């Protein structure tokens, strides 16, 4: 099994309804293919973690790179794993902007960074830690 983490920017005009459709479709497809993970959205940017069998994850990532609903797809992390960190989630999803409004007490360093790509490109394990924070609070 492997885990990947990538970041991307939403295409201009992508609506929250369209994002919700992406999440629902992903949950159905991920369950069929034995994938688990989490998708975060904030200020026009995505961060996603996927876990599963390597061939399946690689095939999906290739499809994701070609998806016109976002751009500037950058792989931050790809590594073998011995167990899933998001085993109960076919696709967890959180719009961070909404989380700030609902749970202002969670407004910490991670939530103020707005998925700043350079921070996570320079330290991909920080992205993993960031995603794991949401596992505990969603």
Report whether pLDDT(106) > 70.
no
- pTM equals 0.82
> Distance between CA 61 and CA 111 in Å, rounded?
26
- The percent of the chain in helix, strand and coil, each rounded to the nearest 5, is 45, 30, 25
- Summarize pLDDT for 30-65 with one digit per residue, the tens: 999 999 999 988 878 888 999 999 999 999 999 999
Residues 6+ apart with CB under 8 A from 66: none
Can you give the pLDDT at residue 110?
42
Report whether pLDDT(125) > 50.
yes
- Please answer whether residues 8 and 76 qualify as being in contact, where contact means their C-beta atoms are separated by less than 8 angstroms: no
CATH, residue 99 = 3.30.70.100
Q: Kindly report which listed range (58-67, 97-106, 129-138) carries the lowest average pLDDT score.
A: 97-106
Share of the chain above pLDDT 90, in %: 44
Tokens of 81: 């794993």
Q: For residue 109, what are the domain limits?
A: 2-137
Long-range contacts of 24-30, Cβ-Cβ distance < 8 Å, separation of 24 or more: 26/90, 26/91, 27/90, 27/91, 28/90, 30/90, 30/91
What total of structural domains would you count in the chain? Answer: 1
């Amino acid at each position: 099994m492997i885990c990947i983490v990538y970041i991307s920017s939403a295409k201009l005009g992508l609506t929250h309804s369209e994002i919700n459709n992406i999440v629902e479709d992903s949950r159905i497809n991920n369950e069929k293919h034995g994938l688990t993970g989490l998708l975060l959205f904030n200020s026009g940017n995505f961060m996603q973690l996927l876990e599963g069998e390597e061939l399946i994850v690689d095939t999906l990532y290739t499809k994701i790179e070609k998806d016109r609903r976002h751009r500037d797809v950058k792989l931050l992390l790809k590594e073998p794993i011995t167990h899933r960190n998001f085993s109960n989630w076919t696709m967890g999803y959180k719009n961070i902007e909404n989380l700030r409004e609902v749970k202002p007490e969670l407004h910490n360093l991670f939530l103020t960074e707005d998925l700043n790509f350079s921070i996570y490109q320079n330290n991909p394990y920080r992205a993993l830690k960031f995603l794991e924070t949401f596992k505990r609070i969603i």
